[in-house]
Amino acid sequence: MTQRKLRLGAFIMATGHHIAAWRHPGSQIDSGVNIDHYIEVAQTAERGLFDQVFVADSPGIGFRGGEEALRRQGRVSYFEPVTLWAALSAVTKHIGFVATASTTYEDPYLLARKFASLDHISKGRAAWNVVTTSADNVHGNFGLDAHPDPALRYERAHEFVQVVKGLWDSFEDDAFVRDAASGVYFDPAKLHALNHVGKHFRVKGPLNLERPPQGYPVIVQAGSSEDGKELAAATAEAIFTAWTSPAEAQAFYGDVKGRMAKYGRRPEQLLVLPGISPVIGRTEEEAQAKWAELQALIHPAVGLAAIAPFWPGEDVSRWDLDAPPPYIPEAPKGIQSRTQVVLELARRERFTVRQLYEYLAGARGHWVVVGTPAQIADRMQEWFENGAADGFNVMPPVLPASLNEFVDLVVPELQRRGLFRTAYEGRTLRENLGLERPGNAFAQAQRAAA
Amino acid sequence: MTQRKLRLGAFIMATGHHIAAWRHPGSQIDSGVNIDHYIEVAQTAERGLFDQVFVADSPGIGFRGGEEALRRQGRVSYFEPVTLWAALSAVTKHIGFVATASTTYEDPYLLARKFASLDHISKGRAAWNVVTTSADNVHGNFGLDAHPDPALRYERAHEFVQVVKGLWDSFEDDAFVRDAASGVYFDPAKLHALNHVGKHFRVKGPLNLERPPQGYPVIVQAGSSEDGKELAAATAEAIFTAWTSPAEAQAFYGDVKGRMAKYGRRPEQLLVLPGISPVIGRTEEEAQAKWAELQALIHPAVGLAAIAPFWPGEDVSRWDLDAPPPYIPEAPKGIQSRTQVVLELARRERFTVRQLYEYLAGARGHWVVVGTPAQIADRMQEWFENGAADGFNVMPPVLPASLNEFVDLVVPELQRRGLFRTAYEGRTLRENLGLERPGNAFAQAQRAAA
Ligand SMILES: Cc1cc2nc3c(=O)[nH]c(=O)nc-3n(C[C@H](O)[C@H](O)[C@H](O)COP(=O)(O)O)c2cc1C
Ligand SMILES: Cc1cc2nc3c(=O)[nH]c(=O)nc-3n(C[C@H](O)[C@H](O)[C@H](O)COP(=O)(O)O)c2cc1C
């Protein structure tokens, strides 16, 4: 038996995952709209034999804080994910492309079509990160009076994914004959209209595009609520998640995989990929200095805007940054458990205001590992070998600089340990991830009936 | 003054514009989903210094005729246009990309975003062919009971285009400061929410993407009804159209340009580009033989399906293909005037059934010119110099073969005559087409108010 290998995705937040990355000299300052930057980054990730690159997305601008914070926001202008990945697929050969798209604000026919298109264009390297969109600044762009509540969003998401898969099955895999001599192009018996009628959608079909090379693009999910985990257990093949301790990650790993059996699925059909934001130095001191340099780039207005929601009604801008806040509140309801942990930590350790916002804002709540390549590989190995992760969503704090370092320094270390591939195994993203190619549901139903 | 130059677009119907092209050895048989084919074709068009490549589109499969015709249809499976062009923009440098997208079935925020994305990714080479979708097989894919009637579709189209342009103006051209030292990324005073409230749409904005390099991607239109011409006069910068005689084309040219003044626009702000499907031979005989070879590839079932709608209730499949049809009907109401002309011709010349369907189906109603490169250039020059065209939408009957011939044989002939460029003039599609870059409406309104 070959050794189980870890899966690596690169999380491509334009200038880097750190909130102040755009101010760092190692970042490409206009990268949200700089296609050459993305080409460089994707080719670097491919050089590092990553399984996939991933972009987060929201169809709207998220505003947080007042104008002082707003003008310092580096994330207001960036490419639409599917067009971006289509372009990059033409200048890469192996790497997969995970595009985030919303089941709350997109249309299932158009979405099925663009992802099927991307899968054909990339010759089987597309994946869809199914999100219900958490931001509540988006609904106004789509004629809605309010952001639908989570239960409704997830109900719609389940139906949406079902419709999209049904549309991807419009043509059976062998529907196209293309026989010039007889003039027969395809077999209409292998074309199926979906005729979906549900609570949220009526979609007739068929899709005007033959079955994607991967059968379905890989389905990814990134929510951690009860509803989110249930959606992942029912349909996802990879899940992105944010934990900062192995114990939390293990609990999540077991929880979500444990939910799969009732959907007739096996645990290995879903890869759990926690985020890790690695800050790499040749020595630990160098790594710590890098991290401190980045944290110092967080403008107080940006940091304060990130923590202000915990003190509703207070004018946080008047606080002394180098003293503890006047009091530490309970974490607001519905907020990530990670935030609760940090607020408790802040109370116990008497964090200053600046320490608190640096802790919360810098890596946006994700797991930061500061150290040498060997130290970072140690932590990854620990999670990977102890039921906390099938691989990682690597979130380089600064792009392109930190991805270059990861590929040049950490990847070889993982390879030396036999934890990571030394060449791509397959032709499609599915093959590289070790995921099965799904059959066509119409064809399977016909075979079952026969 | 430099001589006025003609504009050339290449109409990329996957296997070629001729209805039986996919059966021809000069075509790439699976080209609808073959990205390498499209790369070859786009690079050939760029080698030929074409302004743009263009794909038609409909978000659904059009079925015509019974199963015998259906299985012989070469146009049931093809890429979504914007993802396709995004990919090709990464492997070309100069050529523009016209993507067709429907104002009836798409959403204005998502559409504005994907076209702005394409314009950034291609560094200013995107264009949107605004269609209201003529096919009535599409509505079921979007939960509608019927295809909205033309007046409503065009009303929605006008509002849709207005919303999309407003979203493209969300950021002023100089909104992004990106000053790492001070930590200021952009100027919120130069960000504008649209706050559109209309009959068909409510869209708050702003768009999460800075202004496209071209200001707006080039707006193209392709309808010829009264409503279509009015939409073109109001907003389009290029119009694709189908005429087979210079007199018809001249009348159309004058008509549509004459409608522009009331929208405060000048005639040169709209380029009229009739379609031409060139069948090229070194001699006229060779060209005629090529055409005959193509026409003979139309399977009778496909040809009959194309003409059957004129004889509702008749079983046309039982007719003798080499005799005239039993009677020639009046053209059904609402059908293109071109069809009426053909039916009259058929009556006068006693066309056989086969001759009739070859005449009507082969080039799908577009202008076919069969001849030597010089003969084809003669016809183009005649239209161009006599107020019938500002350039052409070249519809190669077979792809890639016929485009290669056009680039190798007709382009040099046009260049020798001084009618066509010998190098790209600009960096963006707009610059190559000689179209102005539109200003930002919010910025203009503010200047006017100041
Ligand atoms: C690594 C990661 C990436 C995410 N990316 C996105 C994203 O791009 N867009 C989005 O709307 N939500 C994103 N989310 C949020 C989730 O999809 C989800 O909407 C959010 O966690 C709230 O859902 P929940 O209540 O199920 O946790 C992401 C979450 C994680 C952990
Ligand atoms: C060259 C050309 C290309 C066209 N391409 C499309 C197309 O891709 N998709 C579409 O729905 N309609 C297309 N049309 C049709 C028109 O956009 C329009 O819907 C149709 O002509 C009916 O509108 P009208 O009544 O204004 O003529 C095209 C027309 C022409 C002349």
Ligand closest to CA A272: 1
Distance A47 CA to ligand 1 centre (A): 28
From 3.40.50.720, 1.20.1530.20, 3.20.20.30, 1.10.10.10, which CATH number describes the B7-284+366-449 domain? 3.20.20.30
Q: What is the mean pLDDT of residues A90-116?
A: 98
Mean pLDDT across B350-371: 89
Which DSSP helix (H) or strand (E) runs through B177?
Answer: strand B176-179
Chain B residue with the nearest C-alpha to that of A210:
B77
Which residue, judged by its Cα, is nearest atom 21 of ligand 1?
A223
Amino acid identity at B118: L
Which residues in chain B are contacts of A58 at CB distance < 8 A? 208
Please determine, for residue A65, whether its predicted confidence score (pLDDT) is greater than 80: no
Q: How sure is the predictor about A335, in pLDDT bands with cuts at 50, 70 and 90?
A: low
CA distance A18 to A16: 6
pLDDT, residue B335, reads 55
User: CB within 8 A of A39, min separation 6: which ones?
Assistant: A87, A88, A91, B90
What whole-number distance in Å separates Cα of residue B342 and Cα of residue B423? 40
Task: Please indicate whether, in this complex, the C-beta atoms of B186 and A76 are within 8 angstroms of each other.
Answer: yes
For residue A132, the CA-to-ligand 1 centroid distance in Å is 8
pLDDT band at A341 (very low <50, low <70, confident <90, very high): confident
Q: What is the pLDDT of residue A1?
A: 45
Confidence at residue B7, expressed as pLDDT on a 0 to 100 scale: 98
| pLDDT tens figures, A134-192 | 887 899 999 999 999 999 999 999 999 999 999 999 999 999 999 999 999 999 999 99
Lowest mean per-residue pLDDT among A292-306, A432-446, B111-125, B352-366: B352-366
Question: CB-CB: which of A107, A116, A121 is closest to B87?
Answer: A121
| Residue A228, ligand 1, Cβ within 6 A | yes
Q: What span, in angstroms and rounded, lies between the C-alpha atoms of B114 and A21?
A: 26
Chain B residues with CB under 8 Å of A178 CB are 22, 29-30
Q: Which among B54, B85, B98, B100 is the best mutation to test ligand 2's pocket, defined by most ligand atoms within 8 Å of the CB?
A: B100
Provide the residue ranges of all domains of chain B, joining segments of one domain with +: 7-284+366-449
Nearest to A59 among B59, B109, B201 (CB): B109
Give the ligand 1 atom nearest the CA of A240: 1
Q: B142 vs chain A: nearest CA distance in angstroms?
A: 6
| pLDDT tens sequence across B24-53 | 999 999 999 999 999 999 999 999 999 999
Chain B residue with CA closest to A107: the answer is B142
User: Considering only CA atoms, which of A122, A206, A216 is closest in space to residue A171?
Assistant: A206
Q: What pLDDT is attached to residue A342? A: 78
| Residues in chain B within 8 Å Cβ distance of A142 | 107, 109, 203
CA distances from A391 to A128, A243, A271 (A): 18, 13, 8
3-state secondary structure string across chain A: CCCCCCEEEEECCCCCCCCCHHHCCCECCCHHHCHHHHHHHHHHHHHCCCCEEEECCCCCCCCCCCHHHHCCCCCCCCCCHHHHHHHHHCCCCCCEEEEEEECCCCCHHHHHHHHHHHHHHCCCCEEEEEECCCCCCCHHHHCCCCCCCHHHHHHHHHHHHHHHHHHHCCECCCCEEEECCCCEEECHHHECCCCEECCCCEECCCCCCCCCCCCCCEEEECCCCHHHHHHHHHHCCEEEECCCCHHHHHHHHHHHHHCCHHHCCCHHHCEEEEEEEEEECCCHHHHHHHHHHHHHCCCHHHHHHHHHHHCCCCCHHHCCCCCCCCCCCCCCCCCCHHHHHHHHHHHHHCCCHHHHHHHHHCCCCCCEEEECHHHHHHHHHHHHHCCCCCEEEECCCCCEHHHHHHHHHHHHHHHHCCCCCCCCCCCCHHHHHCCCCCCCHHHHHHHHHC
Mean pLDDT, chain B, integer? 94
Supply the pLDDT for residue B338. 64
Q: Which of A73, A83, A203 sits opposite B117 (nearest CB)?
A: A83
Indicate the pLDDT class of residue A333, thresholds 50, 70 and 90.
low
Rg (CA), chain B: 23
Closest CB from B29, B67, B113 relative to A59: B113
pLDDT value at position A63?
78
Q: Is the pTM of this model over 0.95?
A: yes
- Point out the residue among A73, A184, A209 whose CB comes nearest to the CB of B185: A73
Tell me the pLDDT band of A338, cut-offs 50, 70 and 90. Answer: low
- Across the interface, do A84 and B176 touch by the CB < 8 Å criterion? no
DSSP string computed for B2-63: PPP--EEEEE--TT-SSTTGGGSTTB-TTGGG-HHHHHHHHHHHHHTT-SEEEE---SSPPP
Q: Tens digit of pLDDT for each residue in A356-393?
A: 999 888 777 789 999 999 999 999 999 999 999 999 99
What distance in Å separates the CA atoms of residue A420 and residue B380, rounded to the nearest whole number? Answer: 61
- What pLDDT was estimated at residue B1? 45
Nearest atom (ligand 1) to Cα of A224:
27
**Does ligand 1 lie within 6 Å of residue A242's CB atom?**
yes
Scored b (16 or more CB within 10 A) or e, B16-35 reads: bbbbbbbbbebbbbbbbbbb
* Any atom of ligand 1 within 6 Å of the Cβ of A57: yes
Question: Best mutation site among A106, A128, A134, A253 for ligand 1, i.e. most ligand atoms within 8 A of its Cβ?
Answer: A134
**Do A107 and B74 count as a contact with CB atoms less than 8 A apart?**
no
- What pLDDT score was predicted for residue B334? 55
State the distance from the centre of ligand 1 to the C-alpha of A105, rounded, in angstroms: 15
Contacts of A89 in chain B (CB under 8 A): 87
Nearest to B328 by CA among B300, B355, B348, B306: B348
Stated as kind and residue range, the H or E segment containing B235 is helix B226-235
The answer to whether the beta carbons of residues B306 and B64 sit under 8 Å apart is yes
Whether B80 and A114 lie within 8 Å, measured CB to CB:
yes
Q: Is the CB of A275 under 6 A from ligand 1?
A: yes
Q: Is the model's pLDDT at B213 over the cut of 50? A: yes
Per the omega criterion (within 30 degrees of 0), is the bond before B81 cis?
no
Q: Is A222 in the pocket of ligand 1 (CB under 6 A)?
A: yes
| CA A123 – ligand 1 centroid, Å | 27
Ligand 1 binding pocket includes A15 (Cβ within 6 Å): no
Q: Which of ligand 1's atoms lies nearest the C-alpha of A11?
A: 1
Residues contacting A209, CB < 8 A, separation 6+: A113, A116, A117, A120, A170, B33, B77, B78, B79, B80
CB B377 within 8 A of CB B276: no
Q: What is the mean pLDDT of residues A19-31?
A: 96
Q: What is the mean pLDDT of residues B400-424?
A: 98
Residues B291-319: tens digit of each pLDDT: 999 999 999 999 999 888 888 888 998 99
Q: What pLDDT does A120 receive?
A: 98
B224 CA: nearest ligand 2 atom: 27
| Chain A residues within 8 A of B78 when measuring between CB atoms | 208-209
Give mean pLDDT, residues B230-248: 95
Q: Is A108 in the pocket of ligand 1 (CB under 6 A)?
A: no
Residue whose entry in the numeric block shows the structure tokens 């016929």: B402
pLDDT at B83 over 50: yes
Report which protein residue has its CA nearest ligand 2's atom 5. Answer: B56
B59 closest CB neighbour out of A88, A106, A109: A109
Predicted pLDDT at B134 = 86
Nearest to B134 by CA among B17, B296, B242, B280: B242
Residue A38 CB less than 6 A away from ligand 1: no
Which of A57, A136, A224 best tests ligand 1's pocket when mutated (most atoms within 8 Å of CB)? A224
Instruction: Kindly report the nearest CA distance between residue B314 and chain A, in angstroms.
Output: 24
Helical H segments across B239-352, by residue range: 246-258, 284-296, 300-307, 337-349
pLDDT > 50? residue A81: yes
| Average pLDDT across chain A, whole number | 94
Q: Using alpha carbons only, what angle is made at residue B347 by residues B345 and B353, rounded to the nearest 5 degrees? A: 95
Ligand 2 atom nearest to B221, measured from its CA: 17
Of B79, B185, B208, the CB nearest to A74: B185
CB pair distance less than 8 Å for B186 and A141: no
Q: pLDDT band for position B66 (50/70/90)?
A: confident
CA of B401 to the centre of ligand 1 (A): 48
Q: How confident is the model at residue B330 (pLDDT cuts 50, 70, 90)?
A: confident
Starting from the CA of residue B17, give the closest ligand. Answer: 2
Taking the CA of A225 as reference, the closest ligand is 1
Partners of residue A54 on adjacent β-strands: A11, A98
Half-sphere exposure of B278 (CA within 13 A, CB side): 30
Which of B61, B130, B134 should be mutated for ligand 2, with most atoms under 8 A from CB? B134
Q: What is the pLDDT of residue A365?
A: 76
Q: How many beta-carbon contacts under 8 Å exist across A and B?
A: 202
